[in-house]
Amino acid sequence: MAGDSRHSSRADGGKVGKIQFSDDGELLHCEGFIIAMIDGHASELAAAQSDAAAMSTSPDLVVQPEVHDRCPYGSSSGLAEAIVRTLKLDPSGVASSKCPLFQIPWGGAEADADAQTGNCTFGEESIAYFAKLRENGWNTAEFGGSFLSFEFIRRRLGLFQIGGRPFKDYFPPTISQGPPQDIDFMTIKDIVSNYICRRLITTESGHVGMAPATVVSGDSVYVLLGCAFPVILRPEKITGQYEVVGECYVDGFMKGEAIKGLDDGEYMLQPITLC
């Protein structure tokens, strides 16, 4: 199965499970297994900062992760690469390899202040920062008109902890002499569009991902057989059925990796009823 390209981009690895609707069509009976628990989540992109209305009732809410010492990506650089793949929704890493995300210098004290408040002021210091970027060879016009929206997002994420570090610390603190030549600035536009109505998440196992903005800490991430993406489920306390929060991206579980764990007994297949 590992060499079957048809299944290489599916969380379920192409594994077939039992799927059946209830007689009244209200419930879906399927099979799956839990792979992670949501630990922390960042804020949603606020309605005022995009053309889309906020999806959740608390777009500003940030839940910092409790787990900081687990890294399933091998190293700090591996974690940084996983964050880029996540924001790009790019499990193969092909497009992410040319994304300049963590090469773009952080915006200084004003950006620090915005990270504290969750707002974006774009005052005199930010204007000077943009001017210095251009002086040093960073042509913000190459970002496809998305640079200011990108600034909104990264300042809003600035203090969210990933791997024990705030998001802003993944960026260079000073402006370098121009970007590398082999990068694709337009990939930043993808990050902006991908983040709308979603939140950056971490799991108790240290994985990073992106989930619907309605996610809450403690939600469970499942691989459902027959579903290409991991799914966030929330159990109903009385019925034992599961509410579907939505599909999500969890880096490290997008290409059927969890199926080996299922075959090895690390995970347990269970019947699941979706309501």
Question: DSSP secondary structure string, 45-105?
Answer: PPGGGSSSPPSSS-TT--B--S--S--TTSSHHHHHHHHHHHHHT-TT-TTGGG--GGGSP
pLDDT of residue 51: 58
261-275: average pLDDT = 95
The overall average pLDDT reported for the chain is 89
Percent of the chain whose pLDDT exceeds 90: 63
Q: Residue 138: name the closest of 104, 178, 98 by CA.
A: 178
pLDDT digits (tens, 9 = 90+) for 216-244: 999 999 999 999 999 999 999 888 899 99
| Whole-prediction pTM | 0.91
pLDDT of residue 256: 95
C-alpha to C-alpha distances, 197 to 5, 186, 261, nearest whole angstrom? 30, 20, 31
pLDDT of residue 4: 37
Residue ranges per structural domain of the chain:
20-274
pLDDT of residue 84: 97
pLDDT of residue 136: 87
Work out the pLDDT band at 250, boundaries 50, 70, 90: very high
pLDDT of residue 54: 66
pLDDT of residue 6: 43
Checking if the pLDDT of 81 tops 90, the result is yes
Contact between residue 106 and residue 174 where contact means Cβ atoms under 8 Å apart: no
Q: Which is more confident, 33 or 188? A: 33
Residue matched to tokens 């910092």? 64
151-159: average pLDDT = 93
